[in-house]
Amino acid sequence: MAHLELATDHGQPLPDDSVSESPLAIRGLTVSYGEKPAVFSVDATFRDGSMTAIIGPNGAGKSTLLKAALGVIRPLSGAITVYGKPLRNQRHRIAYVPQRASVDWDFPTRVLDVVLMGLYRQLGLLGRLNAQHRARALDCLDRVGMADFAERQIGQLSGGQQQRVFLARALAQDAELYLLDEPFAGVDAATEKAIIDVLKTLNRQGRTVVAVHHDLATVTDYFDRVFLINVRKVAEGAVADAFTAANLQAAYGGRLATAQIDDLELAAH
């Protein structure tokens, strides 16, 4: 989706109408697990049809931001709107792939059943799974190159294979907004390629993709926008404007060596 780049990426607040069109708009979000906030007073406006990387050091509040956006953790304060409406009735429009499962899969669960979980919300409480649903789940597995593993146990797969299955589950939801938490962390190169291809295809179809991303070297290839955070928002904007050495220094502080920054393909500011 082509959008005019509004001249609002340099600190001025976005006009309200862009918030109402945004797949995800966050205002004044503060989240705290203890005394110190994990996310403090953050505003973010993710653009319809964009592909945005959320970037920041470990413990910067990236996962917390996504979880709050999904309503799975309760913020101290803040407002979240999804396509201009309160999150409450909009969750079905969001698919989420959590940071790679610390989930223990000792309980035997078939790969196909993991993907079918993506359909439960559409089915409702009384819905019954039928052959069409299974075909749809298989098709989603096929899109991530995992159709041959449908009958396997999820716990027996490699980390990369599990990650593909979780992406297939998100695909089964057929959402408009995809939120992913470090989808490429700890996966093999073939899986990374498979996942980015799927995400780019979704994006070409007009879906909005927001992913926590830790590999600064691939930001420019994979994403068109960035959101930099270190508890507070550092910057948000087009990669060409906001993915700068200064913003990276501001987000990472001393944790990023100058040599690392020198190797990156950065916006020229």
Residues at the site binding ligand ADP, with contacts judged by CB under 6 A? 33, 38, 56, 58-64
**For Mg ion, which stretch binds (CB under 5 A), given 19-27, 57-65, 66-74, 164-172?**
57-65
Residue 56's binding partner among ligand ADP, Mg ion, none (Cβ under 5 to 8 angstroms by kind) is ligand ADP
Q: Pick between residue 102 and residue 132 the one whose CB is nearest to ligand ADP.
A: 102
Residue 12's binding partner among ligand ADP, Mg ion, none (Cβ under 5 to 8 angstroms by kind) is none
User: Should residue 63 be labelled a site residue for Mg ion when binding is judged by CB under 5 A?
Assistant: yes
Yes or no: say if 206 and 1 are a contact pair by the CB < 8 Å rule. yes
Tokens representing residue 199 in the block: 């995400």
Quote the least distance from Cβ 184 to Mg ion, whole Å.
Answer: 13
Q: Pick between residue 127 and residue 186 the one whose CB is nearest to ligand ADP.
A: 186
Tell me the CB-side half-sphere exposure of residue 1, using CA atoms within 13 A: 13
Residue 173's binding partner among ligand ADP, Mg ion, none (Cβ under 5 to 8 angstroms by kind) is none
Euclidean distance between CA atoms 163 and 102, whole angstroms: 12
Q: Pick between residue 56 and residue 118 the one whose CB is nearest to ligand ADP.
A: 56
Yes or no: say if 212 and 54 are a contact pair by the CB < 8 Å rule. yes
Yes or no: say if 158 and 146 are a contact pair by the CB < 8 Å rule. no
User: Should residue 230 be labelled a site residue for Mg ion when binding is judged by CB under 5 A?
Assistant: no
DSSP string, 94-152: EEEEPSS------S--BHHHHHHGGGHHHHTTT----HHHHHHHHHHHHHTT-GGGTTS
Residues that bind Mg ion (CB under 5 A): 62-63
